[in-house]
Amino acid sequence: MISLPLSDIASVLSGTLHLSGDDSPQTRVAGTVDTDSRNIGPGDVFVAKPGDATDGHLFVPAAAEAGAALAIVERTVDAPITQIVVADAVTALADLAREVVARVRRGGDLRVVGITGSNGKTTTKNLLARILEDEGPTVAPRASFNNSVGAPLTMLRVADETRFLVSEFGADGSGQIARLAGLVTPDVGVVLMVGMAHAGGFGGVEATLRAKTELVEAVRPGGVAVLNADDARVATMAPVAQARGVRVRWFGRGPAAEVRAEDVEVDASGTSCVVVAGDERVPMRLRVLGEHHVMNALAAITAATELGVSIADAVARLETVELAERWRMQPLGSDSVRIINDAYNASPDSMAAALRTLAQITGPDQRKVAVLGAMSELGEYAGEEHDRVGLQAVRLRIERIVVVGAEARRLYLAAVGEGSWDGEAVFFTDADAAYDYLIGELRPGDRVLVKSSNSAGLRHLGDRLGEFFS
């Protein structure tokens, strides 16, 4: 965080300042801001956020012992540390983030990019950050810091010298993206796709569309909306942008895209294509597994060109990326038995993309194995969407379909109903039982996809299989 006097912080947060030790209202604080006391070090700021499992106020003494300079609390705590008492710690976190970004913008050359979409946010964020970091100091979220706590924590890492802030905005209900994007009013807003992810929370795909449109509505007039030309729902955001004086740039694989990919070819080591923009044709070789990541790369390239990066430079930097993020199409194991651990998140769209990738990278003498768990947050659509995945797995001729967890049982039943009834599809209630089966079942030449939502916990099963077969 930039250096601020305690009095300024208290004013921004509409809080009451309780001084400790030698501190005065003019004492300046410039440390890292965090809600986890385990991450706190000397000079940092601890935000005591009440939670479902525990209360951050219990850890204020630990933060003080670790050397924190300030605690933002909802009630005073008996600990030797200066405290600012606020009405709501999460709201205070957002207010502080808004102020810090605004001050850096006024005093420097900070440009802000916001990214949303039903799938691909974290990968696109990482790809864009890789492009921009060679241009100047860049701040981007760790992992998937994209909610009401994670997004402001990322914003608060901005310093006076920061040139680029890449913010990822997730949501499971209306108004959330508007609140988060409203903290920074992005110069560039990127919308990747509108699909079924979190449809249960939103109340359907049309409600998801309205929520994702909130990012376009938050882009500052004179800014740019980078939109997916291949997604009909995303395309409806163009008039919204133009009505606000926001220019539209299109990416995609179809002819309507201003930045598009042609001659796409996929194999076990990555994806090749040609990036086309006007008269430019730049070959690109992505080492990140999955044809669907071409769209994420195109989005990142398009956004980067709006920030002054040439397509050739953007492509060259993307070609250095080996892994988008842990547990996202992460190759593990060995050349003999390759494990692809993609079990951090799952939606109907990302499940379909991962299964297609498995089919594309498996040779004719190799065996396709899909280890699949539940897709969460689909609400009333959960049953039919798990059915679709089971049907697709069979139709892609996946030789072994291993379904794990009671919430994914309909996926297994759909696969059996489609014809995988002779041992091709198996069901296990827990990951340990699936692991025991797989270490005895897998053989040289197998290509194994592990895919589920985070809540299903299969990412750890993927790690175990990767270690066993390494």
Binding residues for ATP: 117-123
Q: Among 75, 59, 67, 72, which residue's Cα sits nearest to residue 21? A: 67
Residue identified by tokens 């985070």 is 454
Q: Among 375, 381, 427, which residue's Cα sits nearest to residue 401? A: 427
Token pair for residue 424? 């091709």
Buried b (16+ CB within 10 A) or exposed e, 179-207: bbbebbbbbbbbbbbbbbbbbbbbeeeee
Q: Among 456, 295, 252, 447, which residue's Cα sits nearest to residue 357? A: 447
Report which DSSP code applies to 56.
G
Binding-site residues = 117-123
Chain-centroid distance, C-alpha 92: 24
Q: Tell me if residue 223 falls in helix, strand or coil.
A: coil
How far apart are alpha carbons 62 and 68 in whole angstroms?
Answer: 9
Cβ atoms of 355 and 447 within 8 Å: the answer is: no
How far apart are alpha carbons 261 and 430 in whole angstroms?
Answer: 41
Cβ atoms of 45 and 81 within 8 Å: the answer is: no
How far apart are alpha carbons 58 and 51 in whole angstroms?
Answer: 11
Other CB atoms within 10 Å distance of the CB of residue 27: 15
Helix 348-361 and helix 382-395: axis angle, to 10°?
10
Q: Among 172, 171, 203, 205, which residue's Cα sits nearest to residue 380? A: 203
Residue 209 sits at φ, ψ, to 5 deg, of -60, -45
